[in-house]
Structure 1
């Protein structure tokens, strides 16, 4: 027997990666269930809140991080499921079923990632206090609690709201804060967007990342990742699971199950490790400078001589320093950086092998294949297939490469 069709509104902001992934999670639930929902998603839904009582539907899934939405829905007669951030104070939760990203666990994952790198100084770049961003204050308090529990001091800077007219001033104040921090310091940013501010400021000042500041954000926003020269490490939130569970709860409500004001906390999925936290405890400042130059330019085809010119030191001197600090030669450092970049691109993108070889500075795709066979005993396609099995379900190796 077919279920009754229901009209469901989603009060979610599709311009935010957090909400977009929740919407995707809702869609996954609909694909996996027998729910027959007519979904209504308005792009500028905030303009309609004053007249929400005129909407006649069967249920709502809404982003309760926005207090205006929570207030609007406080007296509605249809089933409502809220999504948003978690709170340390239980009284802060809304009086409806609520699916939350675990803010404490998000920050703890970022902190532990930095600590496992050997970092012993920590900072947090948050957001100005705002009733519309309660989750930001929750993450700040989580960072302070976690560092205190482990016996570390934490430097906190909230910065300024992002506005075009004050952008230069805000970045100047951020650079002042960065210059006041000891090195090396691991910085947890409240979001990927705020993390990008840090990367831009450090690039402007010539502050080495991750040698001086190892930076990690929260969201794993693909757009932010590609807007910086240094790829950003980030904590992946469980937004897909949040959307799935929110839809599941609402579906049960529509079928007659009664839910009180319960909370379901969803932990982070994983940490996406990239260049911004590829920290190695290098003590020699010349090796640090050379390593950073190699990281930024290896895929441009640089040779050892260009590294020497950048550091202004003799080859024998720098080679000795490299072997003492890194256990290998300058040439090997360049080689490793190019190979690591190729591995990341195979894992994180759908680019053709030819394009990856070109972007990593290899003379030909055949040369890259030879390196992969030497180091991993497999081709780049086989390497990618193990990391992205779903991508290959309906594709053959011959369709992805020109190598025979």
Structure 2
């Protein structure tokens, strides 16, 4: 009797490499680098057993005794750089770019966000918006803020090249006890700046601080002060009444590149002292930098109020009260400056907000109508048909088709 040939015995899978990721997962910058590492692993099917502390404050405890194969670490944190100085494992460093090459860690491959290009992109955007004056809001000098000081150097270099006076204000470190004092100092600095001015904040958190100071003291954004941050942090957009423009760093690409280098190092390759600078992806342009020069201070002040409260159902009379002029006078100013009524400007902001929400698919049409200040879902439908020639659902499907997981089977 013929026997079937014996099947070959499969070789056991190779053990996964044990890799430590030393990042602060509370920061959007670090999270996106980690996401880039994850995308590299998925795209290459590399088997790594990842060590990532849930409590980032404990991530260095005993790291010199880590029984693993490699490390990818945030070298913007001085404590991380110091802890890994003499570790024998392959290490890929990730962090800020430096003007002075001596600032880079010796002997390690280093993946950097290109600070000069980050700041240059923000600078070019503000100049393109027609802003004649620029400034920067930075952080106090500290070892852990070296990346912020590098962004200052890039900003000051651009100012020299353009022959512009462009001040830098560092302010205070944000903490509960110093919050009021920091806000007052920031307000005084903003008041002294020539207007209109574009301000580059070194992070979105600093941009939000700027915006809060402007809103508290009635400084119109972006008519008087246009604000752009760096990080494109979705949390910042959630916490502000006026959406803040932001430079999108190439963080995911940094994570992928770091993972690729470590993968090669685990196979025996060495990249001592190699530096790779990753440029920004682009800018998420939102309301805080959509600067349109206004000749009428009344229209400027009215638009500042509308931008904040259009979706709360405000009426023309409330806008006029805020500006401090009669309703008829305000309407006349709007006709001259914008060729529209105050009501039409309010409606435009509500419609823009509804379009953004529908495109994100985060809420139903009924929820969008409520959150954007329409009196009813039917009224929102009527506005969409009149202004855009389609229903909210048709608009949503045209800009953000449903993903396969959302499509119901036939």
What TM-score results when the alignment is normalised by the length of structure 1?
Answer: 0.92
What's the secondary structure of 2:167's corresponding residue? strand
Give the stretch that moved more between structures: 361-370 or 203-212.
Answer: 361-370
Answering whether residue 130 of structure 2 is matched by residue 125 of structure 1, we say no
The answer for the alignment partner of 2:95 in structure 1 is 84
Which of residues 386, 389, 406 in structure 2 aligns to 1:395? Answer: 406
Which of residues 271, 285, 289 in structure 2 aligns to 1:259? Answer: 271
CA displacement 1:209-261 (0-9 Å, x = unmatched): 11211111111112222222222211111111111111111111112222222
1:74 CA displacement: 2.2
Q: Relative to 1, partners in 2 of residues 1:295 and 1:140: Cα closer, same or farther, differing over 3 Å?
A: same
The answer for the alignment partner of 1:153 in structure 2 is 165
CA displacement 1:259-308 (0-9 Å, x = unmatched): 22211111112211222222211121111112222222222223333333
Q: Relative to 1, partners in 2 of residues 1:324 and 1:49: Cα closer, same or farther, differing over 3 Å?
A: same
* Contact 2:52–2:59 (CA under 8 A) maintained in structure 1: no
Answering whether residue 118 of structure 2 is matched by residue 106 of structure 1, we say yes
* Contact 2:228–2:245 (CA under 8 A) maintained in structure 1: yes
For 1:53 and 1:314, locate their aligned partners in 2 and report how far apart those are by CA, in whole Å: 71
Q: Relative to 1, partners in 2 of residues 1:247 and 1:173: Cα closer, same or farther, differing over 3 Å?
A: same
In the alignment, structure 1 segments of 5+ residues that lack a partner are 400-404
Higher Rg of the two aligned structures: 2
For 1:11 and 1:43, locate their aligned partners in 2 and report how far apart those are by CA, in whole Å: 11
Which of residues 289, 303, 310 in structure 2 aligns to 1:291? Answer: 303
The answer for the alignment partner of 2:216 in structure 1 is 204
Answering whether residue 34 of structure 2 is matched by residue 17 of structure 1, we say no
* Contact 1:3–1:35 (CA under 8 A) maintained in structure 2: no
* Contact 1:3–1:34 (CA under 8 A) maintained in structure 2: no
Which of residues 32, 35, 48 in structure 1 aligns to 2:43? Answer: 32
Answering whether residue 330 of structure 2 is matched by residue 318 of structure 1, we say yes
In the alignment, structure 2 segments of 5+ residues that lack a partner are 1-10
* Contact 1:234–1:272 (CA under 8 A) maintained in structure 2: yes
What's the secondary structure of 1:154's corresponding residue? coil
Answering whether residue 262 of structure 2 is matched by residue 250 of structure 1, we say yes
The answer for the alignment partner of 1:168 in structure 2 is 180
Which of residues 241, 255, 269 in structure 1 aligns to 2:281? Answer: 269
For 2:319 and 2:311, locate their aligned partners in 1 and report how far apart those are by CA, in whole Å: 13
For 1:333 and 1:393, locate their aligned partners in 2 and report how far apart those are by CA, in whole Å: 37
Q: Relative to 1, partners in 2 of residues 1:191 and 1:397: Cα closer, same or farther, differing over 3 Å?
A: farther
Give the stretch that moved more between structures: 193-202 or 146-155.
Answer: 146-155
Answering whether residue 82 of structure 2 is matched by residue 55 of structure 1, we say no
For 1:312 and 1:44, locate their aligned partners in 2 and report how far apart those are by CA, in whole Å: 52
Aligned-CA RMSD value:
2.2
The answer for the alignment partner of 1:372 in structure 2 is 384
Answering whether residue 4 of structure 2 is matched by residue 7 of structure 1, we say no
For 1:90 and 1:379, locate their aligned partners in 2 and report how far apart those are by CA, in whole Å: 57
Matched pairs, number:
398
